[in-house]
Structure formats: structure tokens, C-alpha cells
Amino acid sequence: MDPRTRRSYEALRLKHIGRIFGRMVRLRAYGGLLLMGAVAGATLMDGAPWRRIWLPIQVVLALSFFFFELRRYEREGLTARSISGNLTLGIILEQSLTWGTGGLASPLLPLVLPLAFVGAAVLPPRQRLLLMLEELGLVSLLAAAHLLEWTPPLHLSFLGEPPREMLLALAVFILLLVVAANIVGAAVRGTFEDMLAESFHQRDELFATHRAHARTLESLSGEIAHELKNPLATVKGLTQLMRREPERAQPSERLEVLAGEVTRMQDILEEFLNFSRPLVPLSVSQVDLAALCDEAVVLHEGLAAEHGVRLARGGDGPVVAACDPRKVKQVVMNLLHNAIDASPRGGQVVVDVESGSLGDVRVFIRDSGAGLSPEVSSRAFDAGVTTKSKGSGLGLTVARALARQHGGEVTLRNEASGGCVAEMMLPRELPADTLGPVRDVREVAHAR
């Protein structure tokens, strides 16, 4: 991550850790009132003089600590020292209360487990390890004090003294649970950090895509202005000529030129708009791609005749796929138009439709031109790259975007025998995240 992203990542991570820590501090403060009430009741019921001195002191210290930390959190929020210091003192107080209310037989002994889990979930690795060693050390010291009778009888008199064997087993069990709580807490923290890092990575990729798109649009704006300059000059010159010399205007010929230039400008602007605006949602139906390609071939017969190029269809039988027929037809017509432009007079363009073996369908458009040069082939789908004298360089970019919206792809490759092959691959069934309402009738929708 770059420094700016790292700072944002750390700020968001601390924000969420602060929320977890804040909930723990509030729960401990207000839940501690009930807990200390239970401790006070146990003190009154027990007859040991030392306990009636020790536990009230512990109750006052614990409640003072709980509410002091709550007020500090509400005033300052999460700080670098507040977590480790808070948890360290909290575990010491918890173990002191456990010792005063029965040691290994105390009902408060399991409270070390949620503290261990929270510590592992919110602390960095080094502090997490130190806190776990503190927890294991205090529990071991408590077990030794109880089992070796280093202190006066710890068990509460009204509960009775449990067997030593059970206390030993309980001590081992609690130690294992402390380790397990730390492992689970560390795993939760790791999962959270992985998810957070992945979300930042996806955000950075999205920003990079938008920045690249914005840079492309910026550079294309100049190219579009240049592309429109010539036809606009032609239109302006013809209209001025027709105004100055109405008797020699030759209106039909000049209007035909004007119409051609306006159509050219319209095509340039339409390609630019298709590239610049977000892809509209798919309108999916079951489409016979063979029939769709037949229709595209018929629509290009005039252009092919003008270029002296023959059009041919390969393959036979219907090939059905779930797709948006208007958008797929736009891709096919764009690729077919490029193939006709690339083919020499007397050449041939062949359109094939095949069913793939991996649940996909493929449309191949083969021309008889010179093929792609090495410097163009690697950038053919970049916006603004074109070999045509009057091209905008957006057709292939839009075609690939439309195919990818379907979960497919458009590729170009040179054939060993000469010419170039444009291949469109589409899945036979669209992925669930792109699939909209699918009509049951198999149809070829006309582009509107």
C-alpha cells in the first residue's frame, strides 16, 4: 500500500477496534456493578475474617478502575496505550478477585477467557503474546497458591472445599482454554484485517480503473475534437457556398455530401458516448446467434459491395445462447465492419458460429487482409488506437466491454495463412450476477 492508503487503512482498523474496545469497557463497568454486588454478598456469607477485609478493598479498586477507564474512553477515545494497559490491569484485578472468592473454585475464574479473547482480537502480535503469558502466569500462580496451600483456605465456606484432583484438572483445563481463546481471538483479528485489506485493494483497483478511464476520456476529447473539425469545416464551407452561389449550388450533390459528413460526425459521437457512459443493464433473451450473424451479414452487403469484398457464412444449424441481442449484434456488426475495411478488393470475409465444448459459443469473423502489425496487436483494444484514416479508435474498446458484460471476451489474432480472425466468446448461460429476466421465446432482437 502507498503511504496515504496505509494511513486510511490504519485509521479504519483503529476505528473498528475502538468500537469493540468501547463495548467491552461499557459492559465491564455496568456489568461490574452486578458482579461486585455478588462478590459483596459472598463476603457477608463467608466467615473468614481476612476475606471481609480483602474483598471490600478489591470491590472498591475494581469499580474505581472500571468507571475511570470508561470515562477516559468517552473523553479520549482509543489510544495506543489504553488497550494494553487496560487489559493488563483488568486481568490482574480479575485474578485478584478470583483468588479472594475461592481461587480455582471461584465462580469468577472463567472471566479470564473473554479477557483473553478480546486481548488477542485487538492487540498487535507482540503485545498479544505478552498478555497471554501474563494470563497463563497468573492462572498458574493461582493454581500453585491453592494446591500448595501457600495462603489461608481459599474456598468459600458455604460452598465447601472441592477435591484436589478436580482442582488440578480444572487448572489444566483453564490454561488450555486461555491458549485456545488467544488463538481464536488472533484468528478473528487476522480474518478482519484480511477482509479490510482486500476491501482497500478492491477500492484501489476501482480508483485506478476510474483514473485510467478519466485519462483516456481526457485524451480522447482532443482526438474527437480533431475528428469533428474536418467534417464541420466541410459542412460550413458547403453551406456558405450554397448561400453565395444559389444558382450554381448543385443542391442534390452537395446535400448528399452534407448528409454524409453529418452521419460521420454522428457515428464518431455515438462511439464516444458508448465508451464514456456506464454500460446499461442487459436485456436478456434466448438468441439464435447464427440467425443474428445472418442478419448482420445482410446489413453489410452494401458496404462489402462498395469495397469489392465477398461475404460468406460458415457453419450450419442454430446456435442458441442467453444474451442481450441488441448488444451482441452491435459487437458482431462492429467486428464485421472492421473485417470488410481490412480486406482488399476481391477479398473475402467469412463469418462462422460454433458451439464450444466448455458450455460456450463462439463467433469467428475472418478477413483476408494483411493482419495486425506487432505494434498494433498489443494495443488494438485500447481506446483511441486505430489504423483507419477516419476512425475514432473506440469500436473495439466498446465491443470488448459489451462482451465482458456478458461474461465473455473478444480477441484478435493473425492466421498463419494470412488475414486476421476476430473471435467473440460468450457463455451459453449468463452468470447469475448478470442474468436478468430471460424470455422463453427464442428470438433475434433487432437493434433499435
Q: Report the DSSP beta bridge partners of residue 288.
A: 320
- If one counts the domains in the chain, the total is 2
Are 196 and 331 part of one and the same domain?
A: no
- Distances in Å between the alpha carbon of 254 and those of 227, 231, 241, 242? 21, 13, 10, 8
What are 307-332's pLDDT values in tens digits? 899 999 887 778 888 888 888 888 89
Is residue 78 one of the residues assigned to a domain? yes
Q: What CATH number is given to the structural domain containing 436?
A: 3.30.565.10
Residues 199 and 321 in one domain: no
Residues 18 and 158 in one domain: yes
Residue 242 lies in a domain: no
- Give the mean model confidence (pLDDT) for residues 384-409: 72
What pLDDT is attached to residue 160?
74
Question: Does position 173 have pLDDT exceeding 70, yes or no?
Answer: yes
Confidence of residue 445 (pLDDT cuts 50, 70, 90): very low
In whole angstroms, give the CA distance from residue 271 to residue 229.
17
Q: Say yes or no to pLDDT of 364 above 80.
A: yes
What is the Cα–Cα distance from 29 to 62, expressed in whole angstroms?
9
Q: From CA 447, how far away is CA 387, in angstroms rounded?
A: 27
Share of the chain above pLDDT 90, in %: 10
The verdict on residue 211 lying in a domain is no
Predicted local confidence at residue 444, as pLDDT: 37
Question: What pLDDT, in 10s, does the model give residues 222-243?
Answer: 666 656 666 777 777 767 767 7
Residue 290 within a domain: yes
- What is the rounded CA–CA span in Å between residue 182 and residue 184? 6
pLDDT of amino acid 447: 37
Looking at the domain assignment, is residue 276 inside a domain?
no
Q: Report pLDDT for 224.
A: 66
Last residue of a domain, one of 206, 236, 264: 206
Q: How far apart are CA 410 and CA 332, in angstroms?
A: 10
Which letter does DSSP use for residue 161 in this model?
P
Residue 401 lies in a domain: yes
**Do 9 and 136 share a structural domain?**
yes
User: Residue 14 domain-assigned?
Assistant: yes
Domain that holds residue 406: 285-442
**Does 112 map to a domain?**
yes
Residues 22 and 118 in one domain: yes
pTM, two decimals, is 0.51
> Do 33 and 148 fall into the same domain?
yes
Q: What CA–CA distance (Å, rounded) separates 410 from 199?
A: 29
Out of 148, 174, 206, a domain closes at 206
Q: Which of 206, 238, 268 is the last residue of a domain?
A: 206
Q: Could you tell me if 36 and 176 lie in one domain?
A: yes
Are residues 179 and 328 both part of a single domain?
Answer: no
pLDDT digits (tens, 9 = 90+) for 30-73: 888 888 888 878 777 887 888 888 888 888 888 888 888 888 88
Statement to judge: residues 83 and 198 lie in one domain: yes
User: Is 197 in the same domain as 342?
Assistant: no
